[in-house]
Structure 1
Amino acid sequence: MLTLILALLMPVSLYAADSTQAWDKAAFLSWVGKYPSVYKNGKKGGFLYQPAIQTALHRLLSPADRAALASYDVEDKIEQQGDFLVVHQCMPHNCPAAFAMVVIDLNKPRLWVGFFERQDNRVSTRWFGNVDDYSILPASIKNEFTGYLPESM
């Protein structure tokens, strides 16, 4: 009976350990002022490819949204705004029409991904968060996201 209980609790304990111990503020802060992507031997890696962030992104985004985020190859350097890190990415040769913002909470295993896309006569703004709605983000971050929107909006 004890073996059964331990077997049932093991995935929960692995998730809890993964979501708290891997959220390394010092490691995240080491990326401030650097570009989020690094290419090594022709393979893309870097800030968003750290295990804790990858796990959160895989739980949060659909495969299509993960592919879209990975395809946004034009990047700004990672910036710190208070207790948050902000990553800006956009589609090459299409930055005003297709971009994303990833926001990482430095203190808790929380992140948000905002997408903006314009195609033909359609405009889409979508936010995903793994714990809280994007509305809890500081106004400066939300305003920065809308500041990337074309002025005609």
Structure 2
Amino acid sequence: MSAAVGTYRVFRPAPEALDRCEHHHRARFSASHRASEVVVTVEGEVDATNSRAMATYVESQLLGVSHLVLDLRLVDFFGTAGFAALHNINVVCARSGVTWRLRCGRQVRRLLAICNPEAALPLEKPQSVLDDLRAGDRALA
């Protein structure tokens, strides 16, 4: 039996993997590349079943970019495992020299208010009144 000889990518994804949408247990990940920036959008629910897949997907989209925007505004549920994934993304970006910022709505902001009180993650300022509402507020009820 002869061993196959060849090369393969270890830390960088194949270029054809860029911008590919993925579905992982009630969540959808998609990316849009423009020049040296990538916007990764996450929709649905992020929990222990798919948080690692989210971090892996984001890392796979960093090829050749210097800036990342992680958009979590369409997330309906964000568990504590999602926070661990965000921390992992923060470390990967720092190691790769990629600046990044996090866009999020009520669901994610609620968790970050508890898990990220010192603002270690680069949270973008709210862009709309709905983004600015705190999850616990009952002002509209």
Instruction: Determine if the TM-score, normalized by the shorter chain, exceeds 0.5.
Output: no
TM-score of the two chains, using structure 1 as the length reference? 0.34
Q: Which has the higher helix share?
A: 1
Q: Higher relative CO (CA 8 A, sep ≥ 6), structure 1 or 2?
A: 2
